Amino acid sequence: MTARPTVCFLTGSLNAFAGAERMTAVIASGLAERGYRVFVLSLYDPTSVFPLHEHVMHHALFDVRPSFKRAYLATVLGIRRFLREHGVDVLIEVDTMLTLFTVPATIGMSVRRVAWEHCHFDEDLGRPVRRLARRLAARTNAAVVVLTERDRQRWLTAIAGARRVAVIHNALPLAFPTEPAPRDRLDQHDRRVLLAVGRLTHAKGFDTLLRAWAQARPSLPGWKLQIIGDGEAREPLQQLIDSLGLACDSSTMLVGATAEVGAAYRNAAAFCLSSRYEGFGLVLIEAMAYGLPIVATRCETGPKDLLEDGANAVLVPVDDDVAMSRALVRVCTDAALQERLATNGRAFATQFELPRVLERWTGLLDGLAQAANAR
């Protein structure tokens, strides 16, 4: 292994507006900017919806998603061939499930494997085999990267013999705003915007948010709710909007996904995270960087690790639309509370600027290189 290792990020696909995919593109590009030789190997689809540095080389094993049960051997052999052909020193598995492919793919090779966990330890995302994959990763990878100290402690206590588990927070994927959002700005409909951002899935709890919004709206006549994102729950959420009587005016909108989310933060006056669970909650850091007061669920693990009730957010229980409604009214009508949350949140978000996070990644990668050279 050379002093500056050749790095490959292994992921399912970059053709999805989702947090892990976005962060893969951000960190891979940041390392390439610093002079690392960087590859991204997608299991399928050579397209990326996120920009990549010109020196990041993106490849895909398959053009379209196959059945990985039927294509298991072809996938393992394809990964192995790619690593050999490109002289990869460190393989970063963007999902611990990928360990099920990479353990056999790297038998007899000197590749150092790093598992990058984007959810929290006690959430298997509906796939019980993920729990097995995490234990396999903890015992066979050179390192496991998790997003919060809370999750790191869970890994260490749950898995006897777990190898190196490091915390590297997600990075703010945009330049830190020089000025906070002017929260008193009104949109073209003369309304202040309550913003929510995320994939339209059950995990994000947007159904709870809509129920809370239906209760809060009579107390917030100068406000509207915008939910930015797309996903399989779009139709049920639209049906819920209709059934709650929220479709009668322009106060509630499912905006769809966008790569230019910065403009939405700049034009918002407050932010809400309604998730049932989060590995990290990158949108919280983005909202804080723009100086938006936040209402969030007290869910595992990111919000519990990142947020302090009354300091940089107002926290409510998961799935409690009544508590969320009250919190929304409180935050949207209390100017002093807004200012405190916004000021503290913006200061807190500075620690997640990309250069700081890249220092953690380069320290990990260079440390693996030094350990290999010392053998």
pLDDT for position 183 = 87
Nearest to 173 by CA among 280, 317, 86: 280
Apex 172 CA angle, 167 and 178, nearest 5: 140
The CA distance from 309 to 328, in Å, is 14
Question: For 61-99, how does the pLDDT look when each residue is reduced to its tens digit (9 = 90+)?
Answer: 999 999 999 999 999 999 999 999 999 999 999 999 999
At residue 375 the predicted structure's pLDDT band, cuts being 50, 70 and 90, is low
Q: Is the pLDDT reported for residue 187 higher than 80?
A: no
Neighbours of 263 (CB within 10 A): 9
pLDDT (tens digit per residue) in 201-230: 999 999 999 999 999 999 999 899 999 999
Token digits for 25? 């593109």
Q: How is residue 80 written in tokens?
A: 């192995």
Provide the pLDDT for residue 57.
98
Instruction: Report yes or no: 279 and 249 within 8 Å, Cβ to Cβ.
Output: no
pLDDT in tens, 241-262: 999 999 887 889 999 988 788 9
Cα–Cα distance for residue pair 351/306, rounded to 1 Å: 11
97-151 residue pLDDT tens: 999 999 999 999 999 999 999 999 999 988 999 999 999 999 999 999 999 999 9
Cβ neighbours of 341 (radius 10 Å): 25
Q: Are 211 and 217 in contact (CB under 8 A)?
A: no
8 Å CB contact between 148 and 306: yes
- Mean pLDDT in the chain? 94
Rounded CA-CA distance 312/309 in Å is 7
pLDDT of residue 184 exceeding 70, the answer is yes
Residue pLDDT, tens place only, 277-298? 999 999 999 999 999 999 999 9
Work out the pLDDT band at 300, boundaries 50, 70, 90: very high
Could you give the maximum distance between any two Cα atoms of the chain, in Å? 69
Q: Going from the N-terminus, what domains does the chain have, and what CATH number goes with each? A: 7-171+353-373 (3.40.50.2000), 192-352 (3.40.50.2000)
Give the whole-angstrom CA distance, residue 30 versus residue 182: 30
Separation between Cα atoms, residue 227 and residue 272, nearest integer Å: 10
Q: What pLDDT digit, counting tens, does each position of 6-33 carry?
A: 999 999 999 988 889 999 999 999 999 9
Coil, helix or strand at residue 279: coil
Task: List, in order, residues 6 or more apart from 243 with CB less than 8 Å away.
Answer: none
State how far Cα 98 lies from the chain centre.
Answer: 18
CB burial of residue 19 (10 Å; 0-12, 13-18, 19+): buried
Is 1 a residue whose pLDDT tops 50? no
Give the residue with greater pLDDT, 296 vs 189: 296
Q: What is the pLDDT of residue 186?
A: 66
Report how far residue 282's alpha carbon sits from residue 8's, in angstroms, rounded to the nearest whole number.
Answer: 23
Strands 90-93 vs 314-316: parallel, antiparallel or unpaired = unpaired
